[in-house]
Amino acid sequence: MGSKRIVLITTGGTVAAHQTAGGAVPVLHSGDLMNLAREASDQAGSAETPEITTIDLMTRDSSALRTTDQFIIATAAIGALSDPDVSGVVVTHGTDTMEETAYLVDLYAHDPRPIVFTGAQLPSDHPDADGPANIVAAIACAVDPESAGRGVQVVVGGAPQPVRGLFKVSTDSLRAYDVVHPSLGRPLADLPVPAGRTARVDTIALYPGVSPGIIAAAVAQHAAGIVLSATGSGNTHPDITAQVSLAVQQGVIVVVSTRVPYGEVAARYGGGGGAVDLVAAGAIVSGWLRAPQARIALVALLTAGATRDQVADFLARSAPA
């Protein structure tokens, strides 16, 4: 055993899945994953692994997670560092929504010790399963002194990546992720991970012909916040702008992101439905965060009682350093 101690938290996902007649389903637990990782480490001739303590938190496909599940994972990851003898934390998670859960954890990760998320694109019983090697790489990242103070990182199919600005770029490539910018700012939540009910935040995709009533429907269902996945640098139809104005008047926080992978969301265009008009109606541009991460940040902020100005300040501080 090495002198360092890592906590491995397993949550399900493809990394823990076996192929069945009904499709791939997460079935493996932490002990199974560690055995596969040890085999991969031995085959690669890797250095001796540190002491590993495991936590079987859940066994779910990440596409089926609820927001409450994501906060449970965040509580477990942050809580694991309450032990001063722990050197770092590795979380196995499905790749469909890893960018959201890992970013949520990052918001509360004040401790400089590493937290690393990993997963897989191929089920564990696939002949070329990538999960075991990814777990080995994630553990190596978690014990690397260079990882300290970097916030939550993700290791899937390559070198560690910062979770801030991360998004999934492929359904099948082993290199599943990219980042919108490599050095985004890292504002942190000032409060502990909440244990009770969280704020409801809806994401709405915008496109030519979208019904403006979809925003009113979210407001009617008591959404505290809405994230718009807009076109271009944050643009839409003037009818959407009118509904945004009504939502803001009812106290809903509206954030404008984009469906475009790269570049900044900024108020550049007018014409009634451009980001200039949306901001004038009371919306906030997300800057560099895409809709999934903008939404989970807004959930955390509104659950803590953040005001519109505090949300705007958070997003501004998320810009590249």
Secondary structure element (H or E) that encloses residue 89, with its range = strand 88-92
What DSSP string runs through 192-252? Answer: PPP-S----EEEEE--TT--THHHHHHHHTT-SEEEEEEBTTTB--HHHHHHHHHHHHTT-
How many of the other CB atoms lie within 10 Å of CB of 42? 11
**Structural contact between residues 284 and 308, judged by C-beta atoms closer than 8 angstroms:** yes
Binding residues: 62, 95-96
Distance CA 64, CA 73 (A): 14
Residues 10, 11, 92, 95: which is the catalytic one?
95
Binding residues for substrate: 62, 95-96
Decide if 14 is catalytic. yes
Q: Which residues of 71-97 are buried (b: 16+ CB within 10 A; e: fewer)?
A: bbbbbbbbebbeeeebbbbbbbbbbbb
| Count of all residues that appear for the chain in the document | 321
How many of the other CB atoms lie within 10 Å of CB of 249? 11
Cite the DSSP H helix spans in 62-183. Answer: 67-80, 98-108, 131-143
Residues 14, 101, 198, 231: which is the catalytic one?
14
**Edge-to-edge strand order for the sheet containing 51-60?**
51-60, 5-12, 88-92, 115-118, 153-155, 161-162
- Catalytic residues, which ones? 14, 95
